[in-house]
Amino acid sequence: MDGKLILGFLNYLFLALVFLFGLVSLLAGDQRKKLTFLFLALLSSGVLSYLFFAVAAFILPGIILIFFCLLLYMLIISQEFYGFGKPLISAERRLRPGRQGFVIKPSVVINLVLSLAASAGAGAVFYIFTKSFFAAPPIVKSFESAAMVSIINNIGANYIPAILIISLALFSCVFWSIIILENRRTKN
């Protein structure tokens, strides 16, 4: 088989795996299952980035990603163990034998319909406006990967992305802290 064909097949396979694992982790009810499938989806996205010849660009942020996943896992474990943040279920409700039929709540239906409509609208707009670009994209002849040394040199030579990202991160942190302060004021 042609090497290009195998690479293309692997790319599509891992994109499909990211989508499937992600869908399962969104739909799963149990929090631990959610986290397990989230980890599998992130692993698939890691393999996908390796297939895109971007090894060094994934390893560095991957370290932060691992710490984040660990923190999230610890939070969920403590939630499960100590019951933090879980609504208290009264004894009567727990002892109730089964559900009383299938009840459709209008608020849930409206929320679902609005979310689906917004997603479908965004998808349609994206498809319509990118159709002309994908008719004849200016694709390069040969694929090349960026080495770690060139990335470090680029960080040293080009400050614009760093300044942009750091200023955006600072803005979001300030925004977030303002939200927290507002919450504290109402609490006090």
Partner 1 sequence: MNLQYIVLSSFLIFLMGFFGSTFCRGFLSIIISFQFIVVASLCNFFAFSLFLYAASVWDKTFIFFAFASIYLLLFAIVFYNYSRQTGVYELDARKDFGLFKFDRSDWWGEEKPDDN
Binding residues for partner 1 restricted to 39-68, rule: CB under 8 A: 41-42, 45, 48-49, 52-54, 56-57, 60-61, 64-65, 67-68
Q: Contact at 8 Å (CB) between 51 and 10?
A: yes
Site for partner 1 in 67-86 (CB under 8 A): 67-68, 71-72, 75-76, 78-79, 84-85
- Of 77, 158, 174, 182, which one interacts with partner 1 (CB under 8 A)? 158
Taking the complex as a whole, the smallest distance from the CB of residue 44 to partner 1 amounts, in Å, to 9
109 binds partner 1 (CB under 8 A): no
Question: Quick one: which segment of 88-96, 97-105, 112-120 binds partner 1 (CB under 8 A)?
Answer: 112-120
Judged by CB under 8 A, the number of residues near partner 1 is: 82
SS (H, E, C) the chain: CCHHHHHHHHHHHHHHHHHHHHHHHHHCCCHHHHHHHHHHHHHHHHHHHHHCCCHHHHHHHHHHHHHHHHHHHHHHHHHHHHCCCCCCCCHHHHHCCCCCCCCCCHHHHHHHHHHHHHHHHHHHHHHHHHHHHHHCCCCCCCCCCCCHHHHHHHHHHCCHHHHHHHHHHHHHHHHHHHHHHHHHHHHC
12 binds partner 1 (CB under 8 A): yes
- Of 77, 165, 174, 178, which one interacts with partner 1 (CB under 8 A)? 165
138 binds partner 1 (CB under 8 A): yes
Taking the complex as a whole, the smallest distance from the CB of residue 150 to partner 1 amounts, in Å, to 5
Q: Contact at 8 Å (CB) between 152 and 60?
A: no
176 binds partner 1 (CB under 8 A): yes
122 binds partner 1 (CB under 8 A): yes
- Of 13, 15, 43, 47, which one interacts with partner 1 (CB under 8 A)? 15
